[in-house]
Every structure is written in structure tokens, then in C-alpha cells.
Amino acid sequence: MKIKGIEQRRLNKEKSLSMASSLFPDEEWVNTEPNVFVVKSRMVVKYREWYKWEREMSQVRILTSQGSVAYFLPEKKHEGKGKVYVDTVIDGEIVELKTVAGNRNTLGTAFKQGFKQGAATVQEHPEIQKNSVFIRLVSDFTVESVKEKLRGN
């Protein structure tokens, strides 16, 4: 059983590195902690925007503790569009990270914004099949309330 977990993590790392490198072929990746790689150009953000960095890392650690492998992408804008790229590649899939505190409207706005960021990346890279948004809720919503909001209600 242990070998299966190690093999899955190796596959997750290969898929993530492949996706991150295809999006940003000229970038260098730094292994900052187990199963977390950060593009070198983003290391400045780690120190300049410490609170944001810690918030994103807390989300990623939830996944990496379960066998996922995450690559943090550069904070670049899509050419001429003013939209930023997604935050990460996790297990070979692009994933935008959002933390939501506040009301249901804030949740809806964060989800739409995160999905649009991923969709812009998918549009620029047709080889990418899908994108995800990982939302960490810091509010007391019921599961049903969250589902309803994400359905657009």
C-alpha cells in the first residue's frame, strides 16, 4: 500500500511539472517544502506579500498532505487582457486558490473570478482540458448554501 502512495505522488509530480513547464518553459522551479515547488520569480511575492502567501500555502498544504504535488506559477498577466494567471498546477491540473470570508455574494464573486482566471489560461492553451477553483471558506455557510450559490442561486 505504501508503494502505491509513493508511485502516485511520483506521477502527480511528473504531471504537475509537465503542465507548469509547458505553461512557462523558461522558468526555474524551487522545491520549498515537501511536494511544493515555487517558480523562482515568485519567491519575491513570498516575502513581499507574506499574508497572501501564507493563505495560499495553507490551502496547498491540505492537498499535499494527502499526496498531491503543487507547483506555484508566476504572477503574470495574460498578454493585453489584464487578467492574471491561475495560482498553481496541482497534480497536473491548473487550480486557482481562493479564500472566502464574508457573505454568499463574496463566495459567488470569488468563484466566478477564479473560474475566469482558469478559463483565460485554458483559452490560451487549448491542450489544457479543464481548470479548477479551490475555495477555502472562512465563513459559516451550510454545505447546501454553498452548493446553491455555486449553482448560481
| Dmax (CA) of the chain | 49
Kindly compute the dihedral angle of the four CA atoms of residues 100, 146, 92, 34, in this order, to the nearest 10 degrees. 50
Give the C-alpha separation, 106 to 151, whole Å: 14
Q: Which three cell numbers stand for residue 2?
A: 505504501
Q: Which three cell numbers stand for residue 29?
A: 522551479
Structure confidence by residue, pLDDT tens digits, 68-118:
999 999 876 555 555 567 899 999 999 999 988 888 888 888 888 888 888
CATH classification number, 2-150, choose in 3.40.1350, 3.30.300, 1.20.1070, 1.10.3470:
3.40.1350
Q: Which residues are paired to 88 by β-bridges? A: 72, 95
For residues 45-55, give the mean pLDDT: 78
Backbone angles phi, psi at 91, to 5 degrees: 50, 40
Helices and strands in the chain: count of H runs, count of E runs: 5, 6
pLDDT at 68: 93
Three-state DSSP class for 12? helix
